Amino acid sequence: MNEHNWTEIIKPYNKLLDLKLKEVWRYRDLLRLLVHRDFVSNYKQTILGPLWFFIQPILTTIMFVIVFGSIAKIGTDGIPMIVFYLAGITLWNYFSDCLNKTATVFKDNAALFGKVYFPRLIMPLSIIVSNLVRLSIQFALFLIIWIYYVTVTQTIQPNFYIVFFPFLILLMGGMALGLGLIISALTSKYKDLIFLLSFSIQLWMYATPVIYPLSSIPEKYKWLINLNPMSSIIEIFRYGFLGKGEFSWASISYSILFTIIILILGSIIFNKVEKTFMDTV
Amino acid sequence: MSDIAIKIENLSKLYRLGEIGTGTLSHDLNRWFAKFKGKDDPFAKISRINHHKNNKISENEIWALKDINFEVKKGEVLGIIGKNGAGKSTLLKILSKITKPTSGEIKLNGKIASLLEVGTGFHQEMTGRENIFLNGAILGMTKAEIKRKFDEIVDFSGVEKFIDTPVKRYSSGMYVRLAFAVAAHLEPDILIVDEVLAVGDAEFQKKCIGKMKDVSEQEGRTVLFVSHNMSAIQNLCKNALLLNQGSVEMKSLPPK
């Protein structure tokens, strides 16, 4: 009998960074179907259906224009308020939705994970992808309004840094995934964190130049905002599309480095937790 | 080429009793702190079970499985029986990679698929058709495979009339039939089946048993079959594994 012929060996411990990416690739159809499920199930039995993708950012923008623009009178660096807020909201929503969902992936899928095996990484990945699809729909809305301001009123001058856009999206997705993986490992054990999560993400938004431009922050406190790896992403996006914002290689390098470290750390922790979380969840 | 499909060596699984949530943060912090100072893990009995084989476990722990050894041949239908709490589910969970063993190893030859509960991952709002694809993919099939077997699955389930209706409108029998049909058309080398026959009417149960027989006898696949239904076990299996408080005993069953 050939002892070396086993196709698979189940052992108590695995390697530290064994992500089983090959297996993830084999399950790519599942990823696609999960994304599909997200869309279909969200809007079944609603009248407006996918229109909700547009209504959400529009309503938030109107609210921001009224509250932050007209009542609190926070400046927008001379950019028309609607396009300024919509830019921030579109990007931030993508990040916060990704993070919010991946952070509770073990808890939300405990019933499924407890019954059948598939590479667990598929779940958080499918969350990122389905938010990516949502982002592209909402980004189309932004583009329509943006084109109006560029061509009709000519109040904004975009520049070359627009080409960074796909890269910024990648960066945000990676950061949300990495952080989400870390938090998901913790929420599977300490449920308290779930309560903290949405609150923290909200706070984080205010620490990011979403509703205000970075230039409105006094020089003294700028380093604080710059510590936030999301700041440079939003700023560069606005710099490219709206022509006002701050771009520096230092801050973007910082965000890249942060994302890489967080992703590696998240993968290690996720990998460790996925094996026994069923016993602790 | 070996003819062993599954080989289990010294497999053990330890569970903690009581409420896991309470006190774990302080335990964890303590453990980290001890590690940081280079000392031994103060809760070593929980995490380093590998190193103590002499049954010394604290009161709030239990061996769900203890040093289990057995082999299953290719094409065999092995029944697994035992009282509630004997460790059947734990064994199946480890086999289907849902949770890791505390110590020991399982060697597998071939693709494994488990049917611990039919209808896992069914989405209430989606139609039968959409759910066949989703469920099939969750169980490890590719889209092309599911497409190829789609008609067969629908035929087996007998719900073709309702295939474009959301499954939340299905009767529980229809639901289970559809779910089993998807699972029965997986083509793993090793199939794990847990108590799925408890549901469905007599006719459907017969169909399921027939399908499992086909799978093993004609297609040469290995089936592990857990049930409390002794007549079904006797019908399907030559041998059965009797689990009792975490240890096993192999029994050969007299043909019915």
Q: How confident is the model at residue B46 (pLDDT cuts 50, 70, 90)?
A: very low
pLDDT for B56: 54
In chain A, residues with a C-beta closer than 8 Å to the C-beta of B98 are 113-117, 278
Please state, as a whole number, how many other Cβ atoms lie within 10 Å of the Cβ of residue B138: 22
Q: How many domains does chain A have?
A: 1
In chain A, residues with a C-beta closer than 8 Å to the C-beta of B133 are 33
Query: Residue A28 class from Cβ within 10 Å (0-12 exposed, 13-18 middle, 19+ buried)?
Result: middle
Å between A1 CA and nearest CA of chain B? 5
3-state SS, one letter per residue, for chain A:
CCHHHCCEEECCCCCCCCCCHHHHHHCHHHHHHHHHHHHHHHCCCCCCHHHHHHHHHHHHHHHHHHHHHHHCCCCCCCCCHHHHHHHHHHHHHHHHHHHHHHCCHHHHCHHHHCCCCCCCCHHHHHHHHHHHHHHHHHHHHHHHHHHHHHHHCCCCCCCHHHHHHHHHHHHHHHHHHHHHHHHHHHHCCCCHHHHHHHHHHHHHHHCCCCCCCHHHCCHHHHHHHHHCHHHHHHHHHHHHHHCCCCCCHHHHHHHHHHHHHHHHHHHHHHHHHCCCHHHHC
Conformation bin of residue B229: beta by default, left when phi > 0, alpha when psi is -120 to 50? beta
Closest Cα in chain A to B19: A280
A49 CB within 8 Å of a chain B CB: no
Q: Please list the ranges in chain A whose pLDDT falls under 50.
A: 1-2
| Best mutation target, B107, B127, B196, to test chain A (most A CBs within 10 A) | B107
Q: Does A40 contact B130 at a Cβ distance shorter than 8 Å?
A: yes
Nearest CB neighbour to A115, from listed B102, B120, B126: B120
Contact yes or no for B46/B16 (Cβ under 8 A): yes
ipTM: 0.81
Q: Which residues of chain B neighbour A276 with C-beta distances below 8 Å?
A: 99-100
- What pLDDT, on the 0 to 100 scale, is given for residue B226? 85
* Chain A residues within 8 A of B137 when measuring between CB atoms: 27, 29-30, 33
Q: CB–CB of A116 and B121 under 8 A?
A: yes
Q: How close A183 comes to chain B (CA, Å)?
A: 15
Residue B44 DSSP SS3 = helix
CB contact under 8 A, A2 and B142: no
Test B2 with A2 for CB contact under 8 angstroms. Answer: yes
* pLDDT for residue A222: 85
Question: Residue B45 pLDDT more than 50?
Answer: no
Kindly list the residues from chain B whose CB atom is less than 8 angstroms away from the CB atom of residue A15.
Answer: none
Contact at CB, B98 and A278, closer than 8 angstroms: yes
The whole-number pLDDT of residue A124 equals 94
Radius of gyration over alpha carbons of chain B, in Å?
Answer: 21
- Find, in chain A, the residue whose alpha carbon is nearest to that of B18: A280
Output the pLDDT for position A174.
95
How do residues B131-168 score in pLDDT, each as one tens digit? 999 999 988 889 999 999 999 999 988 888 999 999 98
Cβ contact B134–A34 (<8 Å): yes
Domain that holds residue A128: 54-280
CA quadruple A259, A117, B52, B105: dihedral sign:
negative
Distance of CA B189 to the CA centre of its chain: 14
Q: Is the pLDDT of residue B64 over 90?
A: no
> Nearest CA of chain B to the CA of A271: how many Å?
12
What pLDDT sits at residue B73? Answer: 87
Strand locations in B167-238 (E):
190-194, 222-226
- Does position B212 have pLDDT exceeding 50, yes or no? yes
Interchain contact, B93 vs A1, CB within 8 Å: no
**Interface membership of A25 toward B (CB under 8 Å):** no
Measure the CA–CA gap between B194 and B115, rounded to whole angstroms.
Answer: 6
Identify whether the C-beta of residue A136 lies closer than 8 Å to the C-beta of residue B156. Answer: no
Q: What is the pLDDT of residue B51?
A: 41
Is A22 inside any structural domain? no
Give me the residue spans of the domains in chain B: 4-64, 73-252
Q: Indicate the burial class of A218 (C-beta count within 10 angstroms; 0-12, 13-18, 19 or more).
A: exposed
- Per-residue pLDDT tens digits for B100-129: 888 888 888 888 887 767 777 788 888 999
Which residues in chain B are closer than 8 Å to A275, comparing Cβ atoms? 99-100
Phi, psi of A237 (to 5 degrees): -60, -45
Contact A7 B100 (CB under 8 A): no
Band the pLDDT of B196: cuts 50, 70, 90: low
- The pLDDT, as a whole number, for residue B44 is 45
Residue-averaged pLDDT of chain B: 79
B191 by DSSP, 3-state: which?
A: strand
Q: Determine what percent of chain B is predicted with pLDDT higher than 90.
A: 11
pLDDT of residue A236: 93
Is residue A46 less than 8 Å (CB to CB) from chain B?
A: no
Q: Residue B20: pLDDT band by 50, 70, 90 thresholds?
A: low
Please judge whether A115 and B98 are an interchain contact, meaning their C-beta atoms are less than 8 angstroms apart: yes
Q: Tokens for B35, please give them.
A: 């590690």
What gap in Å lies between CA A116 and CA B116, rounded to an integer?
A: 7
Residues from chain A contacting residue B23 (CB–CB below 8 Å): none
Give how far B26 is from chain A: nearest CA, Å. 12
pLDDT at A15: 67
pLDDT at B48: 41
Minimal CA–CA distance to B145: which of A26, A96, A44, A228? A26
Q: What integer pLDDT is reported at residue A203 of this predicted model?
A: 93
Question: Is residue A161 in some structural domain?
Answer: yes
- Taking the CA of residue A188 and the nearest CA in chain B, the distance in Å comes to 10
Q: Which among A6, A44, A276 has the least Cβ separation from residue B108?
A: A6
Q: How far is B133 from chain A (nearest CA, A)?
A: 8
pLDDT computed for residue B57 by the predictor: 59
Q: Tell whether A189 lies on the interface with B, counting CB pairs under 8 A.
A: yes
Name the CATH code of domain B73-252 (choices 3.40.50.300, 3.30.420.40, 1.10.3470.10, 3.30.230.70): 3.40.50.300
Q: Which of residues 99-118 of A touch B (CB under 8 A)?
A: 111-118
